[in-house]
Structure formats: structure tokens, C-alpha cells
Copies of this chain bind each other. A is one copy, B any other.
């Protein structure tokens, strides 16, 4: 029972020296990536750089204690940072106290929501977000993230949250573009892109063993940061137009609940819900992919609890919303992280960095961080997903396109809402048209099949219809419409039989539809019958008054129904020869 809520008890008992050594190596590599990435994502979120580093401390410790994934690296990530910027930017001016307060409350609210969803096992809520929507959203978010870094890459005062805002701003400020910054950006971008594959190869070529070379290859971010900082400091480039980070406060964050502001909270509830769901969906799929490689498992609801606590931790430690990030998780896994302790060790290393290294970051150029962000989001872009999805399914392609267009041109939240709304509408559209077959008897048998596909015998007085789906509110109306239509099309009609072979459930809407059908048929002097009702459905119906009001009967089989309602035809039809006669008649 204890391990249920404190998963670390399972691995902590058997924690070995080998585990510690593996975790230490993994933690060191992750820390080297996390220091520049954390500050970069804080900058992306519109927050001071230390917010990103604080987000790599307490949240990691909490996730290590409560998370079920052994390789997931939690912390600031690009998409959530962008969503934070969008939400906080809607209620406050970037750089103000109020803005940071909004970011903290976003972490607390989204963390609280994740925690509640996890405790009540409501993780299914995330299924509102279909794959095409999340995939379209992430590509569009990647573009917006890259666009948001243009101000740092070009050294000009470019602003805007959507493409229609950013693009004119680039042209309006083109005179202010700093050539030195652009050159700097180009060199760093080229180095980082090359280093993704090239650095490890180079290290191998000069004689370093492949595994170590691969790990050292991950130090590209550190190399870029150190080199560019030294360059700016040595050549005094900060006075020639290269923007630098400036003072980063030394030491640990202050802990405590941020100031309470009810009006602010109300405005942040919807974006916090989106951050919670997007963060969870991203994180769980990374965690499951990594767990499968070692045949381990992650528990979706406990992951929600752990991520919720991590975000609550972020909210009380002056940080920013966090979740599991893809690139660092892969590095963590590849570097051999054995247990979640790797995350906790990372947190300690970050704390040490905060106490020692911050003064050295004064001359760190902002353009370096921007280049790190841009390189990180390159892996988010998947432009082939849209044509691929469209080719597979028009509905899914439309949902993806709507998500991308709204995200890029209207805003992050509107994009997600448009995508979720459209997928729901299209899902309901599909569900609202269940497959319904009018059935007749296959001659010589007791089987009943679709009259459109088989040579079957029917009786003008009896209308038998089979619905190939459970009956619930999205499709209740379709059955009503179909039966009402049949009633007006068939003047000889005396009986309607609903064959319930595929009906596993009837909700209250469908029950009322059945009642309405029963009443309407009654006023037209037509009886309504059911056949082949499954046991659980029958139990459900007996809890209502429907069976008392039913004008017809409930037959065990469709054949029983036809024997009772159309005895001559049905019996005749059982004799194949007679039946042929009847059919040719």
C-alpha cells in the first residue's frame, strides 16, 4: 500500500552502488543540458533565467519521490514555456511582478488539477486531446517558439505572439537588426545543429571510446554557452550590440505560496487546464516509450499525481510550470539512469550550480540561449504529419489543420480549443450516424440480414431494423428519424422490431428516444418490439418504465419475433422451395 503512493520505496530498498554510479553519470549529463535549457526556457516563458533553474530543483525531487517512470526527466520544456508566456502575457506585462505571479499560479493551478485528476483516476480527460490535435499543436507551437526568438537572434525589438503580429514586426524593426548578433546567432546555430551528430563522431575519431564520445557529445550546449560567454566578456561585445543575461541571483530560491489574487486566478483557470493536459499528454507518452524499452511500466494516474506535485513544487519555489521533456529524458535514459534518484541528484547539482556558477553567467549572450531554444524546437516540427494525416482521414486532417491555423494566426489557447472542439464535433458526427440495417430473413434459415446486401424475404407489415452500435445521446436522434421516416414511407406498417444484437448500453437519452418512438408508433396504431436484447441491457430497461409502456413484446430472437408477427411468411420462408416461389412472386 505504501509503495502505491510512494513509488520510491520500491527502488530505494534495493538501491545499489552500481545504481548510484549510473544515476550520477546520467544526472551530470542532464545537468549540463539543463542549466542552459532551463534559463533558455525561462526566457521563452518571459521569466528571469533563474526561474528555469529553480524549476529544475524541487519539482525534480518531488517527481523522483512520486513518479513511476525511471527515465523521465522533468523540468522546464519548450511547449509549456510557450503556453506559460501566452497565458501570463494575456494578464500582465512581461517582466513585471504580476507576470511572474501569473506564471507561479499557472504552475500551482495546473499542478493542483493534475493532482486531483490523478487522485480521482480521471486521466481519461486527456483523451479529449486527439493525436492529430496535439501533433498539429506542437508543430505550430514550435514555429511560434522559433518566431518568438527572432528578437534575440536578430537583436531587434520584435514583438508579437502570433505570426500576423511577429512578421510585420520584423519588417518594422528591420533597421534595428544587429549584424553582429545575427552573425553570432548563425555561428552558434550552425555549431549546435552540426554537433547533434557531428560532435560525437569527431570525438570518436580522435580516439575517445564511443559510449563516452556519445555522452560528451551532449556537452555541445555547454561548449556553446561557455565559448560565447568568454567571447563576449573578452571582446566586450556586450557594448557592441550583443544582449547579455546580466545578473542572475546567486543561491537557492525563496520558498512560499505566491500572493493570492482571486481575480487573477479566475483568468488563469482555463490556460492552466490546457497546460495540465498538454504537459501530461507529452510526458506520459515519453515515459511509456522509455519504459517499454526495459519492459517496465508507468501508471498513468500516478504519473498525474507526480507531475501535479512537481508543478505544485514549482509554484512554491519561484519557478515555472514543468513537465517531462523529450530530449533530456532520452539523454537521461541513454546515459544509463537506473532509478528516479537520477532526477533528485540532478536537482542537487543544479542547486550547487546556483550557488557557485551564477556570477559567471553575467556575460552569457541571450542570442546563445535563443539558438539553444531554436535547435531544441527543430525536433518538434513535423510538416509531413498534415499531408499524411489528411491522406489517412479527412476528419483528422481537418482537426489538425484547424489546430495549426488557429495556433499560428490567433493564439495558443484558441488553437487548442479549435482543435479539441472540431475533433469532438467530427467525432459526434461520426457517432451520430451509426450503421443501421433494415433486415429480412435469409430463405431457408433463421438468420436475418441487411436487405441491401442479401437476398432476403421481408413482410410489408413488419419493419425490422438493426442498429450496429450502443444507443446513446449522439445517435439517439438518428434512430428516431429513421423509424419516423419508415412510418411515413410504409402505409401497410403494423410492427416495428428493433434488433438489439449490437446494443451494449442504452443511455437515458436513447431511452427517451425509444419511449418517443413507442408513443409515436402507438398513435399511428403500430406496435413496437425489441429482439435479442442482451442481459445487462435488459437489466437496465427493467429499472425504467419503458417495458411497461412498450406496445409490443421483447423477443428472445429475431426469428421468434417474425414467427409471432408474420407467421405465414416466416414459416413458408423456412422451406427453401416455397421461399423461392415467394421471392419470385
Contact = CB atoms under 8 A, between A and B. Distances in A.
Interface stretch (A54-62, A82-90, A167-175, A292-300): A292-300
B488 A427 contact: no
Interface in A114-173: 124-128, 130-132, 135
Given A512-B131, A544-B392, A291 B488 contact: yes
Contacts of A294: 524
Contact of A475 (B127, B285, B388, B474): B127
B289 A516 contact: yes
Interface in A473-490: 473-478, 480-481, 484-485, 487-489
Contacts of A296: 488
Contact of A393 (B288, B508, B519): B508
Contact of A295 (B125, B127, B474, B524): B524
A424 interface: yes
B520 A131 contact: no
Contacts of A540: 392-393
A481 B299 CA distance: 8
A388 B549 CA distance: 15
A504 interface: yes
A390 to B, nearest CB: 9
A433 interface: yes
A491 B296 CA distance: 10
Contact of A293 (B428, B478, B505, B524): B524
A549 to B, nearest CB: 13
B289 A520 contact: yes
A380 interface: no
A559 interface: no
Interface residues of A, number: 74
Interface in A74-115: none
Contact of A131 (B400, B476, B487, B491): B476
A14 interface: no
Interface string A218-234: 00000000000000000
A396 B507 contact: yes
A295 B522 CA distance: 11
Nearest to A481: B300
Contacts of A130: 473, 476, 507-509
A225 B291 CA distance: 77
Nearest to A521: B292
A73 B524 CA distance: 21
Nearest to A285: B516
Contacts of A430: 472, 505
- A131, A396, A432: residue with the most chain B Cβ atoms closer than 10 Å: A131
Given A520-B289, A523-B292, A132 B488 contact: no
A430 B127 CA distance: 12
Contacts of A391: 543-544
A46 B189 CA distance: 64
A487 B292 contact: yes
A316 interface: no
A429 interface: yes
Nearest to A390: B508
A280 to B, nearest CB: 11
Nearest to A289: B520
A124 B433 contact: yes
A379 to B, nearest CB: 17
Contacts of A400: 508
Interface string A510-537: 0111001001110110000000000000
Contacts of A507: 130, 393, 395-396
A436 interface: no
A392 B508 contact: yes
A523 B293 contact: yes
A578 to B, nearest CB: 32
Nearest to A508: B396
Contact of A396 (B288, B487, B509): B509
Contacts of A574: none
A420 to B, nearest CB: 10
B474 A427 contact: yes
A124 B520 contact: no
A435 interface: yes
A425 interface: yes
Contact of A292 (B125, B297, B397, B484): B484
Interface string A264-292: 00000000000000000000010011011
Contacts of A127: 428, 432, 473-477
A403 interface: no
A472 B427 contact: yes
12 contacts: A127-B473, A128-B474, A130-B507, A131-B508, A289-B520, A292-B521, A295-B491, A296-B488, A297-B484, A297-B487, A392-B540, A393-B507
Top 10 nearest A-B pairs (CB, nearest first) are A292-B520, A396-B508, A130-B473, A297-B488, A131-B509, A124-B432, A131-B512, A293-B523, A130-B509, A127-B474
Given A124-B433, A295-B488, A392-B544, 19 more contacts: A124-B428, A130-B476, A131-B508, A131-B512, A131-B513, A132-B508, A289-B516, A292-B487, A293-B520, A294-B524, A295-B487, A296-B488, A297-B484, A391-B544, A392-B511, A396-B508, A396-B509, A423-B473, A424-B424
